[in-house]
Every structure is written in structure tokens, then in C-alpha cells.
Homo-oligomer: A and B are copies of this chain.
């Protein structure tokens, strides 16, 4: 099988590096272009990147000459782009790429809440992918933009999904303890985070209180009606490298027992599991039994960093249920999530009209 040619926008940053790492040996996608700002353009990737995501720079990308993140510069290179652009640049450039015919899978926050842009987690709301048809029609774009949520929202929503389906969410109170890598690189100074907790992350609580409602909302065929429950979030930065931990209390419309909640989480399988997508974890939500788990240092790599891990499911004196959840913020919560979105939409045929060079996918998608 010929692989689909892809590019990475913002390839030198921390999330861009994760894209490069995850795409290195991908069965369906092949990196042909790395794009970044004018500072880096024109130089070899291994000369401009400060590699911070572990292991080595993949051999096949070391010598790629970085291009300017601009539709003209990338014209014809590929039809699929992963975007790790900073929010302001994403706001400006992603529509230009979509207008130029690219399918843009963006980790940026700029268009997440736009009415005609899917905010997508394949296990949660795969049907929202169809929003891109509305988007293309409304904006006259041959390409499109698909976003994945904020990292903390990703993990929270991934766990809430089977519970909302089974028991109806009413109220969710979440307190996050987020890893330093969520702030990118260089990100948080060592002097600010050693021996410390920073009880504030700009914009994070707003995202946590809104993005899950869009994702758990109903797609009418025209637009998404947000889900009808309420979230309150406290966001904290803690001295951890990778892995966001979230303490969650949940009130339901129907009032499940602890056992019912555990069962609903354990038995949950989404479309990526059915389709056996390359980056899909076997089990989207792993529930641990130990009384002191999940822990980021011990559990963040479960399901190759693509599983959400839950523990300490127990009654809440105020709501129905308390639990702790953990997700790997730069894998499932960023580049890995975006990649899974592209796999889903490749499988569903969304790229077929984009370019003549698209190969047929084999396996479950056929």
C-alpha cells in the first residue's frame, strides 16, 4: 500500500515533535513536509529543532529541509496537514490552508468552538466529522479544518462519554493537576515549578467548562447542540513531566452505583476500536483496582499513551460518584489525538475528493 503523504505545521515545537515522532513509522501516513516559521525555514530539521520529547529524532526526518508554513510553499506536497501551530498563527493560517485544499488536523485552540468545525475525539463523537461538509459548503473550501480538544478536556470527555450515554450527566466538578509539558517548550521555568503548585493555567478552566459540552452534544446534520449539563473546573500545574491527573465528582440524572460506573467504563469501546485504527488503544478507558492509582509516573503510558486511566471510583457525599482520571497530555491529549482523528476520517473516506494521489486503505476500513 502506498502511504498518504502528510505535512506537519509548527514542526519544531513540542507538539510538532510529537507529531513527527508518532508519524515516523505510521502504516498509513508518511511525512513529506515539515513547516515552521521563517526562523527555521530553509534549514535541515535536525539543525533547527531542539528535540525534547524523548528518544532520537526519527532518521527519516532528520534531513528534511524545513519549509515556511505557508500554503504557497507547501502547494502540491501533500493533501493532509497536522497543525501544531501556536493559537494566533493557527487562527490566521489554518483557513488559508483549508482554502488551498488541505485537510488540516489541528491541535490549536483557535477554531475548536467554531460552529462548523468538528471538535473531535473518535471514541466520543465520530459523527461530528460530518461537520466538515457543512464547513466546506459554507466557506467554499476544498479542504477543511478538524480540531482536537484541549488536553485536559480530551481526558475528561473520554471518560465522561460512556457515563453520559449510560446514566446522563448532570454536574461535573473537576480539579486538574497538569504536567509541565502541557505548556510546551521551553514552557514553565524550573524555578517556578520546583517544590511548587501553580493554581492557575491561562484559559484552561474556560476550555474545560465548554469543550466537553460541544463534544457530547448532538449533531443534527446541520450543527451541534451542546450537551445539557454543567461543569466547574479548577486547573493546577504540578511538578510532573507528562500526564494530567484529574479529580472528578459527578452527579448523574440516573444514580448509578460504583459497580455500574466501573462496568460502563470498562466495557466501553468506540469506533476506533471497532475499526481497529492504527493509533487506537485496545481499551479506551482502563480502570485500575489499586487504591492509590492512577499515577502519572506509573500509568501514563498505558495503551501506548492513548488510553485514559481511571481509579478510585467511589461514592461522593455531595454528588453521586468521585473518581480520579489520568491521561497522557502530549500523546492522547495532543498529537496522538489529532492523528487518531485523521485515521478515522481517512477510514471514512473524507480525503477521497482531496487529491488524486490518495491510495485506497486496506483492512477494517474497506
Mark A residues whose CB is within 8 Å of B: 52, 54-55, 171, 173, 175, 177, 180-181, 185-200, 209, 230-232, 234, 236, 238-241, 245, 247, 249, 291-298, 301, 311-312, 316-319, 322, 324
Structural contact, A295 and B186, CB atoms closer than 8 A: no
Q: Is the CB of B195 within 8 A of A191?
A: no
Within 8 Å CB of A234, what residues of B? 175, 247, 249, 322, 324
Q: Report the copy number of this chain in the oligomer.
A: 4
Contacts of A175 in B (CB 8 A): 175, 234, 247
Closest to A290 in B: B200
Sample of 11 further A-B pairs with CB below 8 A, known A171-B318, A173-B173, A190-B190: A54-B298, A173-B318, A175-B247, A194-B241, A194-B297, A196-B298, A199-B311, A200-B292, A200-B293, A200-B312, A232-B318
Within 8 Å CB of A317, what residues of B?
Answer: 209, 230-232
CB distance from A236 to the nearest CB of B (A): 7
Assembly CA distance A198 to B52 (angstroms): 14
Chain B residues whose C-beta falls within 8 Å of the C-beta of A296 in the assembled complex:
195-197
A298 to B54, CA, bound (A): 6
A236 proximity list for chain B (CB < 8 A): 177, 245, 247
| Least Cβ–Cβ distance between A58 and chain B, in angstroms | 16
Most chain B beta carbons < 10 A, residue from A173, A191, A198, A245: A191
Instruction: Tell whether A239 pairs with B239 under 8 Å between CB atoms, given A197-B177, A199-B295.
Output: yes
Q: Would A239 and B190 count as touching, CB distance under 8 A?
A: yes
Chain B min CB distance to A214 (Å): 16
Q: Return the 7 tightest CB-CB contacts between A and B, nearest first.
A: A196-B297, A186-B189, A175-B175, A200-B292, A234-B247, A232-B318, A199-B324
**Contacts of A187 on B, CB cut-off 8 Å?**
189-191
Contact A240 B196 (CB under 8 A): yes
Among A171, A209, A317, chain B packs the most CB atoms within 10 A around the CB of A317
Determine the distance from Cα of A232 to Cα of B55 in the docked complex, in whole angstroms: 32
Q: Bound state CA distance, A173 and B234, in angstroms?
A: 12
Query: Which of A171, A195, A249 is the most central at the interface, judged by chain B CB atoms within 10 Å of its CB?
Result: A195
Q: Are B185 and A191 in contact (CB under 8 A)?
A: yes
Question: How long is the Cα–Cα vector from A291 to B235 in the complex, in angstroms?
Answer: 12
Determine the chain B residues whose CB is within 8 A of the CB of A185 once the complex forms: 189, 191
Interfacial chain B residues near A55, Cβ < 8 Å: 301
- The answer on a CB contact under 8 Å between A195 and B232 is no
Provide a sorted-by-A list of 24 A–B residue pairs whose CB atoms are within 8 angstroms: A173-B173, A177-B197, A180-B191, A181-B191, A185-B189, A186-B186, A186-B191, A187-B190, A188-B191, A189-B190, A190-B192, A194-B297, A195-B241, A195-B296, A195-B297, A196-B298, A197-B296, A199-B247, A199-B293, A232-B249, A232-B316, A232-B317, A236-B245, A236-B247
Q: Which residue of B lies closest to A238 (CB)?
A: B238
Nearest-neighbour CB distance to chain B for A169, whole angstroms, equals: 12
